[in-house]
């Protein structure tokens, strides 16, 4: 049975039983404690916790998930995957344990001919929490399971909580017995791979607090509304029903594995190590494709870093299979073909998605080449010094700076007959992970605070009136100080204020929050920020500038009209620039992020190379022509399907409901889904002045523009500069570029003549410096400071000239100079000195230690530096002392 059919059977079963079928949420979650949707329940957290009233009593879904905490296990076990799909059925105060157990057992054991999944009851085991007598009784009566196939386990496996105060409850897991060929008898309690967990039923019935760990807490009492949260892994069900050995061999994953085998010439099943690598490739390519489809792009932080890591692990695995060249064009296309029936956007958006993947592979292949060169130098230096181990810090530098995988470092070192100080590397990695975990914990604390909004959200959604009104009368629903709900806030305090209605725009869709005030009888609040802490609720961060504000008081939100007008101009200008980009570059140039604030806009878009000045001018001209043409700006609230049928741009990574707000500028020319505020007609924008274009990733560019009065002021400032230049240089404006180029060429020629003069002057000092050589131990030593020098290269040339002048006896030259305000020391040794034990690199480090910096180099010539130029004489004395001690 194909994976898609299994998913369809699940949804049809629950749809017939009055469950609302909910589409999958994005892999990118709003939860501040998480980077990704790591479990099927994540999108339902607001409903399960009661912060947001559930819009349905019962639901079913197939949720896309990404989980990387077990990434090292991918490919090694039958069921660990970074991307997976979780089937779930949900009850919010409707059916509970009996209903959940009945539905699960019926769907699993009903024959395939009758629409079920066709499992033989004798192959199924269940576990329950050790004290959950009710669940055990229900499994006996509903499923007819014998007592020995109902195993009672402890909290570590059969109790669910978030690890935070809030809802919790026991769970019951269903396992499939693969048979004696796969392991020992004894049921799931043996924790043996023979028993595959396929479905987890969570009975969310208690409230907990005093949480010290995920399994150590105090049960406060029963929840007023008991919920059901279930999760069944689609990939696990698929590999069992398809009769294959693991999830990597299922129909949605196997095509990539087979292609990796073909491209590498390695047969799958012939070698365990190669098999693991092919599974990693199949999993990571699919996971990367799905992340790209949900708007994540490769970067060095956050979600983008995880995506980059997945891609690079895949590239590394291909390399370990013997393939050094690019393979992503073929591998990603194979994953698209395997997955597009379930996720059609993979087909329609593939050119955009593949551009990121191909660019990332090209970049990393260059990184591997650079890292290999660096590692080769490290190998050579280690061998030259007689060592057998590459320092852990070197391996960590390769990993952290170059993205060079540790496994590859180990492999290359082994080929060279060396080892790597893995313990030191692991220590540095642990320190880095500890910092990351501390950051994750801070995000989790932010999530815990969301429960305080529950009572306010339960009163309904905040009504936003700001599309039409700049002032709105309302009522204070809540006041929070330091995250705690209070009755009132007083003058000087910073607080959060919840209103029933507001004219103030909350930051979203790239548009920053409005500025303004909230006023009422006897008080005034300055609005510092406006956000949506949970779906449907708007919160105002305010400073109480006068009086005292309390719950239940009337309140009027007042928008700063001048700031709003400029913000509207900037947001509408963003739409114009986006449309102009697509007119100029083609439909593959799509928005990947934006920021709009009063007078300024920036737009990130998918494109792989810098824009020429001519292209920038063309984009700017198209946008300003649209301003000149005074295009009508219209907004409509329509269904998402209708908006898409009309060609509206839906931005990847954004989340949309069943109904959306569609903004047209000039009809279909610019048609986007957008909840921001906009001008009434394009002429109100005034002026768009592109002031910057830059790279923000391998396949992303960024344009920045000033808008309206800010654009005019910037052009006026440039006009003033041009006027000053024409006056100073006594040159007409149209001749300024040629005149400045002429002056620049003259300046460079003069600098070149000065440098040549200074170099000659230094060369002329060689005889005198050599004549001052003194005997230190077995060496003739010249140690002098020469004052200021133009460059370190000039000092190096002088030191080498003096060394050559010393002849064949052991000679060491140490020249100190001040270059650009910083001290530089060059050490040069001849062959006789090196034979006598003098090494330039070691001596440069001695000098650098005195200068407060670092140094090193080859045995014949090396450089040191630092920050304290006054220490140059002391640094030279330290080098002489080091020579004298030999």
Cα angle for residues 872, 875, 881 (degrees, 5° grid): 145
- Residue 865 host element (H or E): strand 861-865
- Treating both helix axes as pointing N-terminal to C-terminal, what angle do 272-293 and 302-320 enclose, rounded to 10 degrees? 150
Q: How many helices (DSSP H) and strands (DSSP E) are in the chain?
A: 26, 34
**Fold category of 451-559 in CATH:** Elongation Factor Tu (Ef-tu); domain 3 (2.40.30)
pTM given for the model:
0.71
**pLDDT attached to residue 440:** 46
Looking at domain 564-716, its CATH class is alpha beta
The pair phi, psi for residue 588, each rounded to 5°, is -75, -15
Q: How far is CA 288 from the centre of its chain?
A: 13
Q: How far is CA 790 from the centre of its chain?
A: 43
Q: With CA atoms as reference, report the closest residue to 524 among 556, 546, 491.
A: 546
Q: With CA atoms as reference, report the closest residue to 338 among 235, 247, 254.
A: 254
Query: In Å, what is the CA distance from 597 to each residue of 391, 681, 701?
Result: 49, 18, 20
**Helix, strand, or coil (residue 410):** helix
Residue whose tokens read 């995988």: 405
21: tokens are 């079928």
Give exposure, 432-454, as e/b (b: 16+ Cβ within 10 Å): eeeeeeeeeeeebeebbebebbb
Q: DSSP string spanning 303-336? A: HHHHHHHHHHHHHHHHHHTT--S--HHHHHHHHH
674 known member of a binding site: yes
Residue whose tokens read 């440069």: 844
571 known member of a binding site: yes
**Fold category of 3-249 in CATH:** BirA Bifunctional Protein; domain 2 (3.30.930)
**Helix, strand, or coil (residue 188):** helix
375: tokens are 């590692």
**pLDDT attached to residue 593:** 86
**pLDDT attached to residue 435:** 66
**pLDDT attached to residue 133:** 95
578 known member of a binding site: no
Taking the C-alpha atoms of residue 511 and residue 508, their distance in angstroms, rounded to an integer, is 6
Taking the C-alpha atoms of residue 599 and residue 270, their distance in angstroms, rounded to an integer, is 63
Cα angle for residues 798, 804, 806 (degrees, 5° grid): 105
Taking the C-alpha atoms of residue 252 and residue 339, their distance in angstroms, rounded to an integer, is 6
The count of C-alpha atoms lying within 13 angstroms of the C-alpha of 751, restricted to the half-sphere facing its C-beta, is 8
Give exposure, 601-616, as e/b (b: 16+ Cβ within 10 Å): bbbbbbbbeebeeeeb
**What ranges do the domains of the chain cover?**
3-249, 254-372, 451-559, 564-716, 765-884
**pLDDT attached to residue 449:** 56
**pLDDT attached to residue 807:** 85
The pair phi, psi for residue 250, each rounded to 5°, is -80, 170
Taking the C-alpha atoms of residue 416 and residue 435, their distance in angstroms, rounded to an integer, is 34
171 known member of a binding site: no
Taking the C-alpha atoms of residue 271 and residue 257, their distance in angstroms, rounded to an integer, is 14
Taking the C-alpha atoms of residue 649 and residue 643, their distance in angstroms, rounded to an integer, is 9
Per-block mean pLDDT, blocks of 10 residues, the chain (886 long): 95 96 90 84 86 91 91 83 95 96 97 95 96 96 95 92 83 95 92 92 91 84 90 94 93 96 95 94 96 87 87 90 94 96 91 88 83 81 86 84 75 83 88 64 45 83 95 95 91 94 94 96 95 91 95 96 96 96 90 92 89 95 97 93 85 68 94 94 96 83 95 94 94 93 93 84 86 88 89 89 89 91 92 90 90 86 89 91 80
Taking the C-alpha atoms of residue 126 and residue 257, their distance in angstroms, rounded to an integer, is 33
**pLDDT attached to residue 446:** 39
842: tokens are 């070691």
Q: So what's the architecture of 765-884 in CATH? A: Roll (3.10)
Taking the C-alpha atoms of residue 675 and residue 660, their distance in angstroms, rounded to an integer, is 8
**pLDDT attached to residue 441:** 46
**pLDDT attached to residue 104:** 97
- Residue 59 host element (H or E): strand 58-66
Q: DSSP string spanning 499-548? A: ESEE-SPPSBTTBPPPPEEEEETTEEEEEEEEEEEETTEEEEEEEEEEEE
**pLDDT attached to residue 581:** 95
Tell me whether the CATH fold assigned to 3-249 matches the one assigned to 765-884: no
Taking the C-alpha atoms of residue 315 and residue 445, their distance in angstroms, rounded to an integer, is 36
Q: Judge whether 876 and 856 are in contact, CB under 8 Å.
A: no
């Amino acid at each position: 049975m194909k994976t898609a059919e299994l998913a369809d059977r699940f949804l049809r079963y629950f749809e017939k039983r009055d469950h609302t079928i909910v589409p999958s949420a994005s892999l990118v979650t709003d939860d501040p404690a998480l980077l990704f949707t790591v479990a099927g329940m994540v999108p339902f957290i607001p409903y399960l916790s009661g912060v947001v009233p559930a819009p349905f009593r019962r639901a079913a879904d197939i949720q896309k998930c990404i989980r990387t905490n077990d990434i090292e296990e991918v490919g090694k076990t039958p069921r660990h995957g970074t991307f997976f799909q979780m089937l779930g059925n949900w009850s919010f105060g409707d059916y509970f344990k009996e209903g959940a157990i009945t539905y699960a057992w019926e769907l699993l054991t009903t024959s395939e001919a009758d629409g079920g999944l066709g499992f033989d009851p004798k192959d199924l085991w269940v576990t329950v929490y050790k004290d959950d007598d009710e669940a055990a009784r229900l499994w006996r009566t509903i499923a007819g399971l014998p007592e020995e196939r109902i195993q009672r386990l402890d909290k570590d496996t059969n109790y669910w909580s978030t690890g935070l105060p809030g809802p919790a409850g026991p769970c019951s897991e269903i396992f499939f017995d693969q048979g004696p060929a796969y392991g020992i008898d004894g049921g799931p309690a043996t924790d043996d791979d023979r028993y595959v967990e396929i479905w987890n039923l969570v009975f969310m019935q208690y409230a907990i607090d005093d949480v010290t760990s995920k399994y150590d807490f105090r049960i406060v009492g029963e929840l007023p509304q008991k919920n059901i949260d279930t999760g069944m892994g689609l990939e696990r069900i698929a590999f069992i029903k398809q009769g294959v050995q693991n999830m990597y061999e299922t129909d949605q994953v196997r095509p990539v594995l087979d292609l990796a085998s073909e491209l590498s010439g390695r047969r799958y099943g012939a070698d365990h190590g190669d098999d693991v690598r092919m599974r990693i490739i199949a999993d990571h390519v699919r996971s990367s494709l799905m992340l790209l489809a949900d708007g994540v792009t490769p970067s060095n932080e956050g979600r983008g870093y995880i995506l980059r890591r997945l891609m690079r692990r895949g590239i590394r695995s291909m390399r370990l299979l013997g393939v050094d060249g690019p393979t992503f064009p073929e591998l990603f296309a194979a994953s698209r073909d395997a997955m597009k029936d379930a996720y059609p956007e993979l087909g329609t958006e593939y050119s955009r998605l593949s551009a990121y993947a191909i660019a990332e592979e090209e970049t990393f292949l260059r990184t591997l080449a650079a890292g290999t060169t660096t590692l080769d130098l490290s190998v050579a230096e280690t061998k030259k010094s007689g060592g057998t181990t590459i320092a852990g810090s070197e391996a960590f530098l390769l990993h952290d700076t170059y993205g060079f995988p540790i496994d590859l470092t180990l492999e290359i070192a082994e080929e060279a007959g060396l080892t790597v100080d893995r313990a030191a590397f692991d220590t540095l990695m642990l320190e880095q992970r500890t910092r990351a975990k501390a950051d994750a914990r801070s995000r989790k604390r932010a999530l815990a605070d969301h429960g305080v909004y529950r009572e306010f959200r339960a009163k309904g959604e905040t009504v936003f009136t700001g599309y039409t009104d700049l002032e709105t009368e309302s009522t204070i629903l809540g006041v929070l100080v330091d995250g705690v709900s209070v009755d009132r806030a007083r003058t000087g305090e910073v607080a959060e204020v919840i209103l029933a209605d507001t004219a103030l725009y909350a930051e979203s869709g790239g548009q920053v929050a409005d500025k303004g005030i909230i006023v009422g009888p006897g008080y005034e609040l300055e609005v510092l920020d406006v956000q949506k802490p949970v779906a449907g609720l708007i919160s105002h961060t305010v400073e109480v500038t006068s009086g005292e504000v309390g719950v239940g008081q009337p309140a009027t939100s007042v928008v700063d009209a001048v700031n709003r007008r400029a913000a509207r101009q900037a947001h509408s200008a963003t739409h114009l620039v986006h449309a102009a980009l697509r007119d100029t570059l083609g439909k593959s140039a799509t928005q990947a992020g934006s920021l709009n604030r009063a007078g300024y806009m920036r737009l990130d878009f998918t494109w792989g190379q810098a824009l020429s000045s001519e292209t920038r001018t063309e984009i700017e001209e198209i946008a300003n022509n649209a301003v000149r043409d005074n295009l009508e700006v219209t907004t409509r609230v329509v269904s998402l399907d209708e908006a898409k049928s009309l060609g509206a741009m839906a931005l990847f990574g954004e989340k949309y409901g069943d109904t959306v707000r569609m903004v047209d500028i000039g009809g279909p020319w610019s048609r986007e889904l957008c909840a921001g505020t906009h001008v009434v007609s394009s002429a109100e924008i005034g002026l768009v002045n592109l002031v910057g274009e830059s790279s923000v990733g391998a396949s992303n560019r960024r344009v920045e523009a000033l808008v309206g009065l800010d654009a005019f002021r910037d052009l006026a400032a440039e006009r003033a500069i041009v006027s000053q230049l024409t006056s100073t240089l006594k040159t007409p404006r149209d001749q300024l570029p040629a005149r400045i180029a002429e002056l620049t060429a003259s300046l460079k020629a003069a600098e070149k003549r000065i440098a040549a003069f200074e170099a000659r002057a230094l060369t002329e000092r060689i005889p005198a410096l050599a004549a001052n050589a003194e005997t230190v131990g077995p060496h003739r030593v010249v140690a002098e400071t020469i004052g200021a020098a133009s460059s370190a290269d000039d000092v190096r040339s002088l030191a080498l000239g003096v060394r050559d002048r010393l002849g064949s006896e052991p000679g060491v030259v140490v020249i100190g100079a001040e270059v650009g305000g910083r001290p530089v020391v060059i050490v040069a040794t001849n062959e006789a000195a090196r034979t006598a034990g003098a090494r330039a690199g070691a001596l440069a480090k001695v000098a650098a230690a005195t200068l407060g910096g670092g140094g090193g180099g080859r045995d014949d010539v090396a450089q040191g530096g630092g920050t304290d130029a006054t220490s140059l004489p002391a640094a030279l004395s330290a080098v002489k002392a080091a020579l004298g001690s030999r």
